[in-house]
Chains A and B, each alone.
Chain A
Amino acid sequence: MNPMNYIYLSCILFSLGAAGVLLRRNAIVVFMCIELMLNAANLAFVTFSRMNGTLDGQIVAFFTMVVAACEVVVGLAIIVTIYRSRRSASVDDARLLRL
């Protein structure tokens, strides 16, 4: 199969994720969309690795997974804390950073 198809898939997944981040309000969904974007990038890395015949892309993919896992830990913790204090998981309600 033409490896370029994976790249197209990766682009579609990334766009879906980006659209989700921009359009959805629920923090959990936004979060899942970010994961989607990360995985889209991972897919692209692995594909490039395959196309170039080197292992660099695959290694970076592992890094990305670790980063994603860390991000899940921190991000979910933040979301849960915000939910606890505000009884809402909507990102629009959490705009305390605005001065």
Chain B
Amino acid sequence: MSLGTSDTLVYLIAIPLFSSAFLLLGGRALDRVGHLIGTAASASSFVVALIELNKMLAREAESRGVTQHLFTWINVGSFQVDATLLLDQLSICFVLLITGVGTLIHIYSISYMAHDIDRRRFFAFLNLFIAAMLLLVLGNSYLNLYVGWEGVGLASYLLIGFWNQKPTYATAAKKAFVANRVGDVGLSLAVMIAFVQFGSVTFDGVAKGIAAGSASSTALNAMGAAILLAAVGKSAQFPLQAWLGDAMAGPTPVSALIHAATMVTAGVYLISRSNFVFDNAPTAQLLVVIVGAVTLLFGAVIGMAKDDIKKALAASTMSQIGYMILATGLGPAGYAFAMMHLLTHGFFKAGMFLGAGSVMHGMNDEVDMRKYGALRKVMPITFATFGLGYLAIIGIPPFAGFYSKDKIIETAFNAGGSKGIILGCVTLLGAAITAFYMTRVMLMTFFGTKRWDAAAHPHESPWLMTVPMILLAIGSITTGFIFSNGDRLKNFLAPVVDKDHHEHETELLAPIVVTGLAMFAVAIGISIAFAKYGRKTIPASAPTDVTMWTKVARRDLLQDDFNESVFMRPGQSLTRVLAFLDKRVVDGAVSGVGAMTLRLAGDLRKTQTGYVRSYALLILLGTVAILTAILVVTL
């Protein structure tokens, strides 16, 4: 794949970055226009992205990628990293998603955050996030990606903790950052392995190095595992998933943009980008599949038990990303479908989060779905857009999620052997559970009886909020068909993720059978949900006489309990022990020497009587002794 150059890529990042800095440094003077500047910056980036897309489509499929060299970043001996941007078929998908959905969410936030005194700062952070996320997907090397990778982590930390005067929110932000840091260790290690094995950390260099066969399979598996660790941290996959639920502490637009549509899917991007590693590292690839499969069920199970609308959606996000990770683990056949699900998910999940935000906006920031009910009449637009997102996520044709999820299930079945059957069943089970918990969310929020607090006066949100929701809903309807019609997205991405043009594997089941099975699973999920939540009235407080399994699911499958008892408490004990040892043993040794010197001095001091004549006598005796010694020696 030959690469052209472009001089305009940098504007994608520079515009939101400078806008962010400007808003932060400008101070209170910009409070009145900050949100407009922020939105304009994001929109400008989107326009640049559209122009780039236009230019890209005009080029031949094999030479669509362009690069822009900015400056030499680090150059020490053989370790050379340039700040270079790379825009190819894979990154343009992300760039459009980030700037497009991002701009919609900016618009939504103008109204959503209208009464917050720090709205300017909020927009500055959103812009910072857009810039960092764009850097993540535009960097041409693992190290450039790393800068964006931690940059989005920082933006996520700042935005989760946007209302950090509330201690639990501040803790949630910290938890997210630390969990992400664990993943970052993986990315660091991946860069190191790449440098030592291939002498290069660019995607191109690593791909060429692997093609030249300069790395052992152990090294490639290690690199793959390290990349997977990074993806697991950023994308809230098992076992680093615990932060995502708490991250819902951030303002809802943040949850929509960062913790549903874009940042958490960065792991999928990273694995797809590293396809050349995983295609040659079967063990790491198997790990990817396992992580994806486990998380997809893990998130779905949590989603069934959550009464907090945002946490239910977060659990769903975790589960859907599990689907994507699973798909990337299926090799060349899966990357394009992972990307497709990622893009459609970006639309419908962002739309649903904005819908949830709209509901909260009308319900005095209440998040407990047991306090909702019958909102469809008072909030028709929110209901309609949320409902379209719902249909998309559970995979009803012809909505977006149907196309993307169906393809993943199909590819899973085709993975071959018992692996294929297990994965296929897991994805089908996931689809059923998804249908169950999303139906539950719909029923509890928009149907049934009113269970509102006395103070709640639900109302439809202003147009600044509903328009982005409507646009995202349109995306939830159409994108699936657009992408999958004639394998358009798959062919578009093929030069990047499937260079060798793998032929279709043998199909275990005919596509129509898979679709039928999936529809059947979804139908089961919906009917159980109807039986449980559609017919009966829903108690306003969560029932306590439930099975142990429900209790465990409500506690997020004990993820926090596990982390606390395995990492946090022992860690705290260790710090206490070390603090004690530092004082008593390490510093004690030093002080001990001092104390010993003092005591010795105290004892020796007693020989000093203060009588001049006894000193004189000692001097005399000493002199005599020395003279005698000299005499004895010389004689």
- Residues of A participating in the B interface, judged by any CB pair closer than 8 Å: 18, 21-23, 25, 30, 91-92, 94-99
Contact = CB atoms under 8 A, between A and B. Distances in A.
Contact of A96 (B605, B610, B616): B610
A95 B611 contact: yes
A98 B613 contact: no
A25 B608 CA distance: 18
Contacts of B610: 95-98
A95 B609 contact: yes
Contacts of A96: 610
A29 to B, nearest CB: 11
A98 B617 contact: no
B304 to A, nearest CB: 80
B624 to A, nearest CB: 11
Most central of B608, B609, B610, B611 by chain A CB within 10 Å: B610
A60 to B, nearest CB: 19
A21 B608 contact: no
Q: What are the 9 tightest A-B residue pairs by CB atom distance, in nearest-first order?
A: A95-B610, A98-B610, A91-B612, A21-B616, A22-B617, A22-B613, A22-B616, A98-B608, A97-B610
B620 interface: yes
Contacts of A23: 613
A30 B605 CA distance: 25
Interface string B596-635: 0000000001001111110011001000000000000000
Interface residues on B, range: 10 to 19
Contacts of A99: 605, 608
Given A30-B612, A30-B613, A95-B609, 6 more contacts: A21-B616, A22-B613, A23-B613, A92-B612, A97-B610, A99-B605
A22 B620 contact: yes
Contacts of B612: 30, 91-92, 94-95
B613 A92 contact: yes
Interface of B: 605, 608-613, 616-617, 620
B409 to A, nearest CB: 90
Contacts of B611: 91-92, 95
Contacts of A97: 608, 610
Nearest to A21: B616
A4 B611 CA distance: 36
A30 B617 CA distance: 13
Contacts of A18: 616, 620
B613 A21 contact: yes
Contacts of A94: 612
A99 B605 CA distance: 8
Given A18-B620, A22-B620, A91 B613 contact: yes
19 contacts: A18-B620, A22-B613, A22-B616, A22-B617, A22-B620, A23-B613, A30-B612, A30-B613, A91-B612, A92-B611, A94-B612, A95-B609, A95-B611, A95-B612, A96-B610, A97-B610, A98-B608, A98-B609, A98-B610
A25 B620 CA distance: 17
A25 to B, nearest CB: 8
A43 to B, nearest CB: 19
Contacts of B616: 18, 21-22
A10 to B, nearest CB: 16
A97 B620 CA distance: 20
A99 B612 CA distance: 14
Contacts of B605: 99
Nearest to A27: B612
B631 to A, nearest CB: 16
Nearest to A95: B610
B40 to A, nearest CB: 79
A63 to B, nearest CB: 21
Contacts of B613: 21-23, 25, 30, 91-92
A58 B612 CA distance: 31
Contacts of A91: 611-613
A97 B605 CA distance: 11
Nearest to A23: B613
A30 to B, nearest CB: 7
Contacts of B608: 97-99
A23 to B, nearest CB: 7
B610 to A, nearest CB: 3
Nearest to A99: B605
A30 B616 CA distance: 11
Nearest to A24: B613
Contacts of A98: 608-610
Nearest to A18: B620
A20 B605 CA distance: 27
B189 to A, nearest CB: 62
